[in-house]
């Protein structure tokens, strides 16, 4: 079953009632960071609440859509099970110095009364050097009246923890594994040279 959410413009990322933001300075090329964000399997590593991603088209660009299934013990209890969100990408920029994607959510699998009435998200990677970049994620939410007034003391801190602390830490762990494996490959290459 699908429940409609209000379509919101990009400006909602700056003026929504609830805004969650995380920033990471990374010592990897901008393209490597972008690849991690494009890798559906990596999402499950750095955002453990993600249980599945299904793209509606093979093309990754503005105009494409996907569904994402989330599962979190706290939200499962409040919402009687996992949550499925439909995402419509209306911004997709891919240049040498900046890569950005943003979407709004037209539907979700739970009634708005229990969740929120609007959601927009943005992922932005900016090149800061030849082998460095800055990754910023913003999530903007219009909570429902019930979520804000009755459940806000549970939902807001949980979302803040997941989006501003837990996911960025997991992303750094994934990034560090990538760096470690690259270093080991270089070491092995050097030691195996004749």
Comparing 14-18, 99-103, 125-129, 170-174, the range with the smallest average pLDDT is: 170-174
- pLDDT at residue 181 greater than cutoff 50: yes
187 vs 122, which has greater pLDDT?
122
Q: Tell whether domain 3-192 is in CATH 3.30.530.20.
A: yes
Query: Is 178's pLDDT higher than 90?
Result: no
The reported pLDDT for the residue numbered 119 is 96
| Chain mean position to CA 172 | 14
Across the chain, the runs of DSSP E, i.e. the strands, are: 3-4, 18-26, 50-55, 65-70, 83-94, 98-108, 116-129, 132-143
pLDDT-derived band at 153, boundaries 50, 70, 90: confident
At residue 48 the predicted structure's pLDDT band, cuts being 50, 70 and 90, is confident
Separation CA 130–CA 142 (nearest Å): 38
Cβ neighbours around 144 below 10 Å, total: 20
Q: How far apart are CA 101 and CA 31, in angstroms?
A: 14
Point out the least confidently predicted range of 14-23, 149-158, 173-182. Answer: 173-182
CA distance 25 to 132: 7
- Phi/psi region, residue 81 (left: phi>0; alpha: psi -120 to 50; beta: rest), is left
**Does the pLDDT at position 115 exceed 70?**
yes
Residue 192 has pLDDT above 50, yes or no: no
Q: In the chain, where are the structural domains located?
A: 3-192
Give 178 or 185, the one with higher predicted confidence. Answer: 178
Mean pLDDT of 83-89: 94
For the segment 4-25, the average pLDDT, to the nearest whole number, is 96
DSSP helix/strand/coil, 8? coil
């Amino acid at each position: 079953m699908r429940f409609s959410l209000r379509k919101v413009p990009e400006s909602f990322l700056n003026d929504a009632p609830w805004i969650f933001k995380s920033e990471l300075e990374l010592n990897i090329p901008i393209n490597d960071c972008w690849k991690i964000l494009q890798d559906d399997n990596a999402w499950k590593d750095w955002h453990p609440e993600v249980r599945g991603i299904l793209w509606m088209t093979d093309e990754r660009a503005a105009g494409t859509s996907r569904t994402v299934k989330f599962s979190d013990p706290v939200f499962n209890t409040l919402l009687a099970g996992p949550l499925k969100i439909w995402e419509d990408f209306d911004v997709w920029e891919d240049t040498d110095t900046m890569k950005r994607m943003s979407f709004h959510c037209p539907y979700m699998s739970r009634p708005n009364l229990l969740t929120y009435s609007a959601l927009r998200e943005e992922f932005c990677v900016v090149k800061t050097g030849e082998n460095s970049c800055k990754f910023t994620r913003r999530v903007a939410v219009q909570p429902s009246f019930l979520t804000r007034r009755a459940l806000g003391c549970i939902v807001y801190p949980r979302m803040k923890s997941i989006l501003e602390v837990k996911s960025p830490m997991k992303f750094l762990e994934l990034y560090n594994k990538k760096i470690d494996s690259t270093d080991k490959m270089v070491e092995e290459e050097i030691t195996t040279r004749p």
